[in-house]
Amino acid sequence: MWRRGFVIYLLLIIIAFIGYVLVWGQISLWGRTVITNLLRIFPFGNIIIILLWGRFSINNPLVQFFYSLHFIFPFILLLLVVIHFYILHIKGSRNIFSILNNNEKIKFYNYFLVKDIFTIIYLIIFLFIVIIKPIILLDRENSIKANYIISPIHIQPEWYFLYIYAVLRSIPNKVGGVLFSFIIIILIYLLLIINFSFEFKSFWVNKIINCLVVYIFILLSWIGAKPVEYPFLAIGFIFSVRFFIILLFKIGFSYILKNILR
């Protein structure tokens, strides 16, 4: 279930990015430029970028291509959500002990009821922002018409990309930054699919690690919104490395507790 959920999450991120760069504004233009130029780290990256752009610079062909993807991907996302709900209905949810015995499953009340209430509250806030205040979270500089000659003083993605953007820019080497960002995403994926032992879930060390992960996630999001200068680069590098170490430690410690110490 977690694997499908993570794929849905990644697809949602792609849809959010593609929709954001469709706007012909300054931040969207330079966001397209930064992200597509990351392909240069791969073999034949320059050729891939030219084929993706459709020209030797970002222009209408790339925007039209992104628009097509932005139209198609939501239908794929909807299909994945339907499949996810269908399999969840057939197999059911795991309980806190990770046991699939029908007699030990979590009851709907009060665990899932509370989660659904928070989901409804979130949807109300989401609809309020989308329908009534659609620009409340947008960068004001994106209201400026895109200009290839003048780049914004401070380019930053939307808030849901800030943590990974902080990791990406904290590594001095471009290739190293991209690879390190992918490694952290893979570690987060491993955290979701690994069936941690109940002993580790209830262990006080795991609770401290979870608190540190949330703390570093918030701090990296804050760093990602700051200018690319000292001391933010140094702080971002330090906590990016700590984020990597903590995720790796949680996976390794749980494996040792589950398979070796038993």
What are the structural domains of the chain? 1-152 (1.20.810.10), 156-262 (1.10.287)
Which pLDDT value is given to residue 203?
A: 64
Q: What integer best gives the mean pLDDT of the chain?
A: 78
Whole-prediction pTM = 0.72
Q: Is the peptide bond before 231 cis (omega within 30 degrees of 0)?
A: yes
Which pLDDT value is given to residue 121?
A: 93
Contacts of 112 (CB under 8 A, 6+ apart): 93, 106
Q: What is the pLDDT of residues 120-136, one digit of tens each?
A: 998 999 889 888 887 77
Give catalytic residues, as residue numbers.
89, 93, 115-116, 158
Q: Could you give the CA distance from residue 181 to residue 240 in angstroms, rounded to a whole number?
A: 9
Q: Is the pLDDT of residue 40 over 80?
A: no
Cα dihedral 226, 227, 228, 230, rounded to 10, equals: -90
Q: Could you give the CA distance from residue 221 to residue 201 in angstroms, rounded to a whole number?
A: 26
Go through 88-111 and write b for each residue having 16 or more CB atoms within 10 A of its CB, e for each that does not. Answer: eeeeeeeeeeeeeeeeeeeeeeee
Q: What is the pLDDT of residues 41-93, one digit of tens each?
A: 777 777 888 877 777 777 777 888 888 888 899 999 999 888 888 887 777 66
The percent of residues in the chain predicted with pLDDT above 90, rounded, is 3
Q: Is the pLDDT of residue 232 over 70?
A: yes
Which pLDDT value is given to residue 124?
A: 92
Residues in the chain: 262
pLDDT higher at 58 or 219: 219
Q: Is the pLDDT of residue 261 over 70?
A: no
Which pLDDT value is given to residue 75?
A: 92
- Of 105-109, 185-189, 221-225, give the lowest mean pLDDT range: 105-109
CA atoms within 13 A on the CB side of 93: 10
pLDDT band at 107 (very low <50, low <70, confident <90, very high): low
Which pLDDT value is given to residue 202?
A: 60
Q: Could you give the CA distance from residue 97 to residue 115 in angstroms, rounded to a whole number?
A: 19
